[in-house]
Amino acid sequence: MNPAMNVGAAPVATPWFFYGLAAAAVISGLLVITRRNAVHSALALIITLLSVAGLYLMLYAPFVAGVQIIVYAGGIMVLFLFVIMLVSIERASKERQFNRIWPVGLVASCALLALFLSAFAKGKALLPDRMMQLPESTNTQQIAAMLYGDAGKMGQYTFTFEIASLLLLVAILGAVIMTKKKI
């Protein structure tokens, strides 16, 4: 409750936590794209998502972390698992797993990674070597102020927020119509 209490204490932000979470995220990300069985992939993806939620917490973004857990791990992944169970996967897991152009995809992606890394190496000096201390305890309130506005005036992202809700509505309608028996 007391904002002064938290800032600076930051007991969890030790490097080890970062390396552990990052390793978990990347390794299970690797499992996501290599598993034969889609349920295993989904479980690995859940681990990735939770690790990324942990990274958000380390970045003083608890609200985003909470949203990540609720929406991603609790919602979207359950949807994924649900669909995997609906479509029989026994046959899919016995078939060829990679498409014919997989070498092209792999090379392109590796090139992309090389591009990223070279950009990081070049631009390292440009990145400010600082991590701002964001006030964790008022994070939610600040996000709310930006989304909905503060004390009578419109928030910066109110309009965007409404558009996002419209997008969700369209997605709901689309999903419902798609899954109807007769299209």
Residues whose CB is less than 8 angstroms from the CB of residue 48 and which lie 6 or more positions away in sequence, other chains included: 24, 25, 28, 29, 32
Q: Across the strands, what pairs with 144?
A: none
Query: Please, what is the minimum distance in Å from the beta carbon of residue 81 to another protein?
Result: 5
Query: Please, what is the minimum distance in Å from the beta carbon of residue 139 to another protein?
Result: 6
Query: Please, what is the minimum distance in Å from the beta carbon of residue 92 to another protein?
Result: 6
Q: Name residue, tokens 């930051």.
A: 10
Cβ-based nearer residue to another protein, 13 or 154: 13
DSSP state of 68: I
Q: Kindly list the distances between the CA atom of residue 119 and the CA atoms of 6, 37, 63, 114, 127, in Å, as whole numbers in the listed order.
A: 35, 35, 30, 8, 11
Query: Please, what is the minimum distance in Å from the beta carbon of residue 153 to another protein?
Result: 13
Query: Please, what is the minimum distance in Å from the beta carbon of residue 65 to another protein?
Result: 7
The span from the CA of 30 to the CA of 34, in Å, is 6
Kindly state the tokens that stand for 71.
Answer: 């929406």
Q: Which helix (H) or strand (E) holds 49?
A: helix 38-58
DSSP state of 95: S
Q: Cα 160 vs. chain centroid, distance in angstroms?
A: 20
Kindly state the tokens that stand for 114.
Answer: 């090389």
